Chain A
Amino acid sequence: MASPEREPVDSVEKAFARGDEDALRAAYLRYGSLVYTYCRRTLDESRAKDVTQDVFISAWKSRGRYEPSRGTLAGWLIAITKNRIVDNVRSEQRHERRRSDNDPTGVPVAAEVEQIGDRLMITEALRCLSDRARQVITLHYLDDLTHQQIADRMSLPLGTVKSDLRRGLSQIRHQLESAHG
């Protein structure tokens, strides 16, 4: 997973809040794939495209209410996306019930949608880490390597591995809290 070659997150967030000329484009370049991936993991392609558009349009219209000091733009957009997906799914379920008596089981509900959003916020947090810290986290939690095994494989002091893991967890927590603001 490569780091996005885009403007620094901090400048994108502040420009968006100010309503700068290029800010919506910058925010879309930075977070379009995050929002669209969330939609695609819960909705079909057509509705995913609609909801992604809707999220950025309504976020831009309401940008005066986004304050970078209170949370990340990624978290704000993910929270808007979650609500739109849940509403979209519920609307579809209502139409489904009108069309037939079938219970549309298997369609994600709020808790499941939120869980998928949390996973994406972790992905976003990992994208924001340095390449080294991201690799340390992935090796430990996804590949189940011990601290010492990671230190050996990456030729790093054991203390560096531990501090990368600690900072990584802190960043992930920050992202998750932003998504529920």
Chain B
Amino acid sequence: MDDMHARRSDAELEAMLRDLDPEDLELIEPPAEVWEGIESAVRTADDTGGTVVPLEAPRRALRRIVLGVAAALILVAVALAVTLTRDDPVIVVAAASLAYDAETFDVLGAQAQARAELITDDGRASIQFVDAALPSPEAGADLEVWLIRPDDEGGVADLVSLGLVDPADPGTLDVPAGYDPDVFFVVDISVEPRDGDARHSGRSILRGPLEDI
């Protein structure tokens, strides 16, 4: 929390309240497809054990789960068919060889290595890790993947989290909607303590820029 917002006086709060319009108090309900998109994305990508229950009635939900499993099996079959019939699926559009910086990175990354690939599928961008050897962080911490938009001097102008990654099975992480990998093109993996602070900890272990293939 920055100091500016650490403590507001009663006068400041009262001024903010007096500045409210009645319409400020009215919230807009999101369209149904917003939850459907969340449910679909999390059900597909959730690799940390949580199960997402749909908003709809259980009977319909069960039918959807059955249909979802069937659809997943079909997708696996199609993916296998594509893999077996094509040498190169032509979905990797850029890649980054992630490197450790002994001067500025966390020592946990000294023996780490990974290659990050930017893949696109029907307009959706994801980062997948190959040839990864990632360390397990200390208890009470996780590894988190970020995309960085560098500034003109090579510093960090902006960044976005792609989520936590399992060192034993890094898998694939979606690039959030609204983020252009051409702009946020540096892949970073950091150690993040479970301290409730959503910002980057500053403890990077690997980093590298995506380059077109």
Contact = CB atoms under 8 A, between A and B. Distances in A.
A29 B55 CA distance: 9
A62 B37 CA distance: 18
Contacts of A84: 160, 176, 178
A161 interface: no
A62 B161 contact: yes
A141 B14 contact: yes
Interface stretch (B24-32, B69-77, B82-90, B92-100): B24-32
B198 A65 contact: yes
Nearest to B14: A141
B26 A21 contact: no
Contact of B17 (A36, A65, A141): A141
Interface of A is mostly: helix
A84 B161 CA distance: 10
Interface in A22-76: 22-25, 28-29, 32-37, 40, 47, 49-54, 56-58, 60-67, 69-71, 76
A52 B17 contact: no
Contacts of B42: 24, 57, 60-61
B198 A79 contact: yes
Given A34-B27, A57-B38, A21 B20 contact: no
A92 to B, nearest CB: 8
A65 B197 contact: yes
Contacts of A21: 50-53
A91 B16 contact: no
Interface string B177-197: 111100100000000101111
Nearest to A119: B24
Contact of B176 (A37, A58, A138, A144): A58
A19 B49 contact: yes
A169 interface: yes
Contacts of A36: 27-30, 34
A25 B33 contact: no
18 contacts: A21-B51, A28-B55, A33-B27, A35-B30, A40-B28, A51-B177, A53-B38, A54-B176, A57-B45, A58-B163, A61-B45, A62-B161, A65-B196, A65-B198, A67-B194, A87-B158, A119-B16, A172-B17
